[in-house]
Structure 1
């Protein structure tokens, strides 16, 4: 698990590091936005009396159910 304050090293399918500054910037912005949305959603659920464990499991299931709409591109620069 990654601490929200520590940067993520984004990797390509072959394990090499994504080094393009703009790509890393977009990936980090997307991650931050998603984290904030999940935090707000979790807080709302708890304020409405939901089980934290059940909400977290629902979020995990949601992530696991998402199918990529594009293929990995090992040749992306």
Structure 2
């Protein structure tokens, strides 16, 4: 798992926040893995599926201002 950083570049120190972030990352990875496997099993081009997932990630926006 990554070392989670604040906007100032310091390591996040709250263990509960780190736990939630790591759990979220694990869930996202599992869901993306399942989507990739499903797509390939249904005959999709794997590089295209990976590109679509990357584009989805790149399109995400945060509704919050960075502190």
**TM-score, normalised with respect to structure 2:** 0.95
Q: Which runs of 5+ in 2 are unaligned?
A: none
**TM-score, normalised with respect to structure 1:** 0.84
Structure 1 segments, 4+ long, off by >2 Å, are none
Q: Give 1:22 shift.
A: 0.1
Q: Does 1:18 align with 2:12?
A: yes
Q: Give 1:69 shift.
A: 1.1
CA distance in 2, matches of 1:27, 1:12: 13
Match of 1:33 among 22, 27, 36: 27
> Between Structure 1 and Structure 2, which shows a larger proportion of helix residues?
2
When the two chains are superposed, the root-mean-square deviation of aligned CA atoms in Å is 0.7
**Count of residue pairs brought into register by the alignment:** 67
Bigger relative CO (Cα 8 Å, ≥ 6 apart): 1
CA distance in 2, matches of 1:32, 1:71: 25
